[in-house]
Amino acid sequence: MSDYLDMNPDHVAGFLRRHANFLADYPDLALALVMPRAAGAATSLTNYQLEVLREKNRSLSHRLRDLVTVAEENQALVGRVHQLALRL
């Protein structure tokens, strides 16, 4: 009983991360969960996961674009340094 009293949201989140198939084994529980939404209304777990993945995809795409830009700038600098070295 004391284990239950010591539970907090971090413990539950950790358990679910370690047991990723837990909700597949208990689909009735998955249906009972209420997922947050920007407007405050409930949405399905699948839709929530899709929204989270889309946002992560957008974020990673922006980061990749930034990294490619930096790589192109670095390549141009390497070319300039190489030309300067050849002139020496």
Q: Which of 31, 52, 53 is nearest to 42 (CA)?
A: 31
Task: Flag whether the pTM goes above 0.75.
Answer: no
**Residue range 31-56: mean pLDDT, rounded:** 74
29 and 49 in a single domain? The answer is no
Count: domains in the chain: 2
59 and 83 in a single domain? The answer is yes
Range of the domain at 22: 1-33
Do the domain assignments include residue 11?
yes
Regarding predicted confidence, which is higher, 40 or 49? Answer: 49
58 and 23 in a single domain? The answer is no
pLDDT of residue 3: 62
Handedness of CA 37, 43, 44, 46 (dihedral sign): negative
Judge whether 35 and 42 are in contact, CB under 8 Å: yes
Do the domain assignments include residue 38?
no
